[in-house]
Amino acid sequence: MIDVSKVLKGFSTAEARWARYGPYYAMFPVDFAFEVIETYTKPGEYVLDPFAGRSSSVYAGGVLGRPSLGIEINPVGWLYGTVKLQPADKEDVIDRLMDIYNGRDHFADEAHAMPEFFQLCFCHEVLKFLLAAREGLNWRENETDATLMSIILVYLHGKLGEGLSNQLRQTKSMAPNYSVNWWKSKNMVIPPEINPLSFLLSKIKWRYDKGKPDVHNSNVVFGDSAEELQHIVRRASDNDIKFSLLFTSPPYCSVTDYHADQWLRLWALGGAEGPYTMREKHKGRFVSKDDYYSLLDNVFGLCSTVMAEQSTIYVRTDKRKFTFDSTLEILTRHYPDHMVTVLDKPLAKDTKTQTQLFGDKSLKPGEVDIILSR
């Protein structure tokens, strides 16, 4: 039996070391994810998250013995999730790190030719290494390459001294011009000299120091839920599987552009050299109310066909009117026989139920939890 308190506090177990893996934007607090899973499911019951982000819900489910399935459209979130659920063996990751490091000098000219942002952000050794990793790692298909690439992404940028970059925010990448002007204004135009091999070796050593997490039968699919759920619905029906908990946090209408916010990590994965908003479906800021509404309607509608009769639907979302009203209307329409609870503000200390208590602890201002149960 897993000791959850050790996952939530400190780093004394493998499950704790991988639980918070992957700086991302708008993440569930890890203790909240564990509490929801423990409160609303029994071991062996299935959990579904169609907007998985860095997969804290899926990880908590898997660690607690609930087979869990996530879907995530952003490669950065997906990579963090798929790796934390099943990291490759440490020795293989280190061998691959050596391969990439040893090939870095082939990228010397390319590194010199990179735009100013990159020259001020990374020292030459790091930039050559990143270009070698960007070209050489098959992160979509190979487990070892995915693990190494995700470790690179975790440390790609952050506070000076904590990552591979000059001073930057860790959870989201700032615009190149803004960063360049900022470094110049602070007289920080020389990026830190870092040896990427020794830096990453020490990070890998720390991460694997307690081993690999024991995650039960859980997975995150890379793709658009509106499409992937159609296959999932078919497979669930063929295998007679019903989910007991739908636990998710959808994007908020017109608030976050997950792709632009992660542009530097997406560059490392082979994407563009700047934060260009993607014109592809479901990869922008969700500014069209019609598209936003139909995404939620479609996804929650498909999910409703695989949920057990006695299931719980737990959705954390934005309090702002359009997102909240649409989500509530869509959920109550797809789950007409469930009872609805809305937790929208910190609650008094003497409130009894666990549901209400963790509403108190983990909601950020402007967020609301919608819970449907039977």
Q: Site residues (CB under 6 A) for ligand SAM? A: 24, 26-28, 51, 53-54, 56, 71-74, 77, 224-226, 249-251, 258, 282, 295
Q: Report the nearest approach of ligand SAM to the CB of residue 106 (Å).
A: 33
Pair 118, 127: CB distance under 8 Å: yes
- The residue (of 179 and 317) whose beta carbon lies closer to ligand SAM is 317
Dist CA 322 CA 254 (whole Å)? 10
Name the minimum Å distance from CB 121 to ligand SAM. 24
d(CA 317, CA 313): 13
Judged by beta carbon, residue 295 or residue 303, the one nearer ligand SAM is 295
Closest CA to 268 of 56, 88, 118: 118
Shorter beta-carbon distance to ligand SAM: residue 265 or 282: 282
| Shortest CB 78 distance to ligand SAM, Å | 9
CB of 60 to ligand SAM, least distance (A): 10
DSSP state of 158: B
Q: Toward ligand SAM, which CB reaches closer, 73 or 100?
A: 73
Question: Of the two residues 127 and 302, which places its CB atom closer to ligand SAM in the complex?
Answer: 302
Q: How far apart are CB 56 and ligand SAM at their closest, in Å?
A: 4
How many of the other CB atoms lie within 10 Å of CB of 70?
32
Identity of the residue, 20 or 90, whose beta carbon is nearer to ligand SAM in the bound complex = 20
Radius of gyration of the chain (CA): 21
Q: Which residue is nearest to ligand SAM (CB)?
A: 53
Nearer to ligand SAM, 225 or 311 (CB): 225
Residue 259 C-beta: closest distance to ligand SAM, Å: 8
- Of 119 and 225, nearer to ligand SAM (C-beta) is 225
Strand residue runs (E) in the chain: 46-49, 68-72, 219-222, 243-248, 307-318, 339-343, 367-373
Dihedral sign computed on CA atoms, order 222, 228, 233, 235: negative
77 close to 282: Cβ distance less than 8 angstroms: no
* 50 alpha-carbon distance from chain centroid: 12
Which residues are CB-contacts of 49 (< 8 A; sequence separation ≥ 6)? 55, 57, 58, 68, 69, 70, 71, 246, 247, 248
Pairing state between β 243-248 and 339-343: unpaired
β-sheet with 68-72: strand ranges across: 219-222, 68-72, 46-49, 243-248, 307-318, 367-373, 339-343
- Give the shortest CB-107-to-ligand SAM separation in angstroms: 30
CB of 146: closest distance to ligand SAM in angstroms?
Answer: 17
The DSSP H or E segment spanning 36 is helix 30-40
